[in-house]
Structure 1
Amino acid sequence: MDDDISETNPNYIIDGISNSQPNSEYDDDGRPKRTGTVWTTSSHIITAVIGSGVLSLAWAIAQLGWIAGPVVMILFSFITLCTSSMLSQCYRCGDPFFGKRNYTFVDAVGNILGGYNTTVCGIIQYIYLYGSAIGYTIAAPISIMAIIRSSCLHSSGGKGTCHVSSNPYMIGFGVIEIFFSQIPDFHETWWLSVIAAVMSFAYSLIGVFLAISQVAKNGTFKGTIKGGSIGVVSTTKKVWGIFQALGDIAFAYSYAQILIEVQDTIKNPPSEVKTMKKATILSVAVTTTFYMLCGCMGYAAFGGEAPGNLLTGFDLYNPAWLIDVANAAVVIHLVGAYQVYVQPVFAFIEKNATTKWPQTNVDHKIPIPGFGPYNLNLFRLVWRTVFVIITTFIAMLIPFFNDVLGLLGAVGFWPLTVYFPVEMYILQKHISKWSFKWVCLKLMSFLCFLVSAIAAIGSIASIVNDLKKYKPFSSEY
């Protein structure tokens, strides 16, 4: 596909050698000119990172306590900042301006590490991305149902049962995603990411505001230095809680699985690495601020009784409308986050399909009065629609898939966020074995491996409990 482009466009690279004649429409690799900036890149990252999981951080800090909780949060923000900086330097091989581009995470691993690493990375990355799509299809209807139940309880004076099935809302969410999945590629989702990022700020701020109001109502800060749930709790249960809390905080910062794909949307000059590093610093600083506010204020408001979802801890009647707004913001955010995670999957499938069957890459111009023509690709329309339908069906079949997603996150965190970026960095920078820097990087990788391992154990325990009461297509709340 790239060879065909380079024949018609004079501005391209072959094996890292530039034939860069002036051309305002194409980049040095012959592809349409990238337009991403620090702000659009930050929007993509924030949309991917600040998920609805931010609302569970109060519970996570409750398991660890006032000292360990914030310390762990800051520690993982630092680790994410370091590994993201390392990974961003893997976008190009050699020259930071004209070196050969790696369009995906798998491309970077394949070109730098090679061998079985490519296959392992590809399997983990795409399973995780697809699993995230299923998880979002489950999570968004929960927020919609919270709004419906709030209205029901309010109208009945709290006397109604107000049970709601999630299946119709999962189908509705799937229909919306079929529409947005027709956005051709990652480069054109920037506006959706901006909206989603704004929504993530909205519900996070609402959560913080409600937590501060609750603290004022209580007249004191709740919580203890050691942490833990209220009441008599067995040592085993406390240990499981700590394990799960570590996993929740670690995965809350993870976005390495889409970093290279996001970096491929950035314009040059300045170099993509420079822009990505600025966007990473900005994004991690913003997310850490919001995480600390939501987690710490939520813990201060509820102490050891902090709920798994911060929004569920407040009185449904006061202020019900504000909680409804927050839940609506969660839904809108998840619509955008879904696309941020599935666009790399779409690109992977369509790239391979185009290689085997070039006729699939044919656009049909559909005239739209008052607008420019719409490029309709029948293959993209059909296969992406089928993808969303299957994803929605699986979400309806296994409504507890969020716990499975927790397992996927646990398994994927260490290799994607830490191991591969560290190994590629060591190889590219020619860091000597057993040098101080080499030892520090390896130690960081090992500690993160332990976090992944214990979080995976905790997730497996949750899945076993879910299977005991599992009923297919049963998802009433």
Structure 2
Amino acid sequence: MSPQWSELLFLASPMLCLKGPGIAILVLSWIITLYTLWQMVEMHEIIPGKRLDRYHELGQVAFGEKLGLWIVVPQQLTVEVSTCIVYMVTGGKSLKKFQESAVPNSKPIRTTYFILIFGSCHFILSLLPNLNSISGVSLAAAFMSLSYSMIAWIASLKKGIYQENVDYSYRDKTTSGSVLNFFSAMGDVAFAFAGHNVVLEIQATIPSTPEQPSKKPMWKGVKVAYFIVALSYFPVALVGYFIFGNSVDGNILITLEKPNWLIALANLLVVFHVIGGYQIYAMSVFDMIETYLVKQKKFRPSTPLRIAVRFTYVVITMFIGMAIPFFGGLLGFFGGLALSPTSYFLPCIIWLVLVKPRRFSISWLMNWTFVVLGVVLMMLAATGGLYTLIASYKTYKFFS
């Protein structure tokens, strides 16, 4: 597996309505996004002799130079920036849980302080030059992801199957609230499969020759990564909901309390994982901003320019994470608004434009079906996530 593939292994929150429809969406999302990832890997060198190393380059080939940029870049930036914000919140909350588990009787500390601590390390890591330079961090993050996921569902089982007062009903007692929460949970699932936004950048780091094109080792890496994704997500979601019902937190490690040392370790692993994940998504943003400033605004490439761009980005994502650390709402809203297009149906549209499968063939029917499902998911999940954000806002004090 390519060492940079840890960005796929983020611990998604268990679906709060994980009954028949929830399980179906979880499995269907895994299948659809694996298929669209295969499409992107295949299209990396769809033009003989040229490698499409960026998502927007693929969009430009499909839709034209200007239109391709306007279609892909805003969505890709939204995905990458929102993912970095969510990772800031996740890292800070996991640090807080680590401190509470390791020192049970300690004085409570604001979550914003932990986000500030977590974000501080990125001022140093952001100065690394490119994706290749963080391959070691990424490999470690992948291992930690699988480790804390296993700790989460095994510790849940250890807690006991027959818990008192476990409620499997919907959290919101109104029909409209229950429906909107379910839509938000769909966005949570969409957020879990976000590797499409950097897959071409990752494939660009793999050598390619006519005899051994990059798509062969890349596809092997994708399959291994998605197998690990299944091992990470499915047991956590299924076991977490079964044990705790609708009282489970967006991050199940926040719900678990004992044994203290194990929960502390698991949360520390989460912290190290999202450090690597943040950098993978941030590197793509750095590349876009610095390329724009140098080519369009005629800035001179320099160390001060790199420091200014990257430190500013870290500060902005950290500030937003400190201001609105609504983990569940952020996942649902951004999962629907940005990750659904780039992971579920935009690759299908590009495939239809570039590959041109025969009308009413299996490939043609599959792609159009996934386009429709992806658009529906985008609209419903974004609506549900926005509802969750509004509901959280009513009971939350900023920078608490």
Q: 1:416 aligns with which of 339, 342, 347?
A: 342
Q: How does 1:305-454 map to 2 (within 5 A)?
A: 305-314=247-256, 316=257, 318-356=258-296, 360-362=300-302, 377-400=303-326, 403-404=329-330, 406-454=332-380
Q: Which amino acid aligns with 1:182?
A: L
C-alpha displacement of 1:134: 1.9
C-alpha displacement of 1:208: 1.8
Q: SS at 1:287's partner residue?
A: helix
Aligned to 1:155: 105
Aligned to 1:44: 4
Within 2, Cα distance between the matches of 1:219 and 1:465? 28
Q: Which runs of 5+ in 1 are unaligned?
A: 1-38, 157-161, 363-376
Q: Which structure has the highest helix share of the two?
A: 2
Q: Are 2:243 and 1:301 aligned?
A: yes
Aligned residues: 396
Q: 2:204 aligns with which of 248, 261, 264?
A: 264
The superposition leaves residues 218-251 of structure 1 with CA deviations (integer Å, 9 ceiling, x where unpaired) of 399x89xxx6348x93333332232222222232
Q: SS at 2:198's partner residue?
A: helix
Aligned to 2:79: 128
C-alpha displacement of 1:69: 3.5
Q: Are 2:241 and 1:288 aligned?
A: no
Q: 2:152 aligns with which of 207, 211, 230?
A: 207
C-alpha displacement of 1:212: 2.0
Aligned to 1:90: 43
Within 2, Cα distance between the matches of 1:252 and 1:390? 23
Q: Which amino acid aligns with 1:427?
A: V
C-alpha displacement of 1:441: 1.3
Aligned to 1:244: 184
Structure 1 range deviating more: 127-136 or 178-187: 127-136
Q: Which amino acid aligns with 2:341?
A: P
Within 1, Cα distance between the matches of 2:120 and 2:190? 32
Q: Is the 8 A contact 1:135 1:402 kept in 2?
A: no
Q: Is the 8 A contact 1:64 1:228 kept in 2?
A: no
C-alpha displacement of 1:359: 6.6
The superposition leaves residues 329-363 of structure 1 with CA deviations (integer Å, 9 ceiling, x where unpaired) of 1111111110011101111122223324677335x
Q: 1:228 aligns with which of 169, 178, 181?
A: 169
Q: SS at 2:207's partner residue?
A: coil
Within 2, Cα distance between the matches of 1:399 and 1:235? 26
Within 2, Cα distance between the matches of 1:320 and 1:404? 28
C-alpha displacement of 1:151: 4.4
Q: 1:184 aligns with which of 105, 129, 144?
A: 129
C-alpha displacement of 1:453: 1.2
Aligned to 2:59: 109
Q: SS at 1:448's partner residue?
A: helix
Structure 1 range deviating more: 142-151 or 193-202: 142-151
Structure 2 CA distance for partners of 1:213 and 1:401, relative to 1, 3 Å: closer
| TM-score normalised over the length of structure 1 | 0.77
Computing the radius of gyration over CA atoms, which structure comes out larger, 1 or 2?
Answer: 1
Structure 2 CA distance for partners of 1:291 and 1:397, relative to 1, 3 Å: closer
Structure 2 CA distance for partners of 1:398 and 1:322, relative to 1, 3 Å: same
Structure 2 CA distance for partners of 1:169 and 1:329, relative to 1, 3 Å: same
Structure 2 CA distance for partners of 1:215 and 1:274, relative to 1, 3 Å: same
Aligned to 1:12: none
Aligned to 1:63: 17
Q: Is the 8 A contact 2:187 2:385 kept in 1?
A: no
Q: SS at 1:52's partner residue?
A: coil
Aligned to 1:466: 392
Q: Is the 8 A contact 2:146 2:231 kept in 1?
A: no
C-alpha displacement of 1:268: 2.0
Q: Is the 8 A contact 1:109 1:420 kept in 2?
A: no
The superposition leaves residues 371-406 of structure 1 with CA deviations (integer Å, 9 ceiling, x where unpaired) of xxxxxx332123212221232223223333763453
The superposition leaves residues 263-300 of structure 1 with CA deviations (integer Å, 9 ceiling, x where unpaired) of 11112242111122111111111111221211222233
Q: Which amino acid aligns with 1:84?
A: L
Structure 2 CA distance for partners of 1:306 and 1:398, relative to 1, 3 Å: closer
Q: SS at 1:93's partner residue?
A: coil
C-alpha displacement of 1:83: 0.5
Structure 2 CA distance for partners of 1:426 and 1:126, relative to 1, 3 Å: same
Structure 2 CA distance for partners of 1:131 and 1:312, relative to 1, 3 Å: closer
Q: SS at 2:265's partner residue?
A: helix
Q: Which runs of 5+ in 2 are unaligned?
A: none
Q: Is the 8 A contact 1:64 1:242 kept in 2?
A: no
Q: Which amino acid aligns with 2:391?
A: N
Within 1, Cα distance between the matches of 2:11 and 2:42? 29
Structure 2 CA distance for partners of 1:44 and 1:434, relative to 1, 3 Å: same
Q: 1:80 aligns with which of 33, 48, 51?
A: 33
Structure 2 CA distance for partners of 1:422 and 1:290, relative to 1, 3 Å: same
Within 2, Cα distance between the matches of 1:458 and 1:437? 31
Q: Is the 8 A contact 2:62 2:68 kept in 1?
A: no
Q: SS at 2:269's partner residue?
A: helix
Q: Is the 8 A contact 1:73 1:288 kept in 2?
A: no
Within 1, Cα distance between the matches of 2:283 and 2:325? 23
C-alpha displacement of 1:256: 1.0
Q: SS at 1:308's partner residue?
A: coil
Q: Percent identity?
A: 25
C-alpha displacement of 1:172: 2.0
Structure 2 CA distance for partners of 1:219 and 1:404, relative to 1, 3 Å: closer
Q: Is the 8 A contact 2:36 2:343 kept in 1?
A: yes
Structure 2 CA distance for partners of 1:463 and 1:196, relative to 1, 3 Å: same
Q: Is the 8 A contact 2:293 2:299 kept in 1?
A: no
| TM-score normalised over the length of structure 2 | 0.90
Q: Which amino acid aligns with 2:73?
A: G
Aligned to 1:169: 114
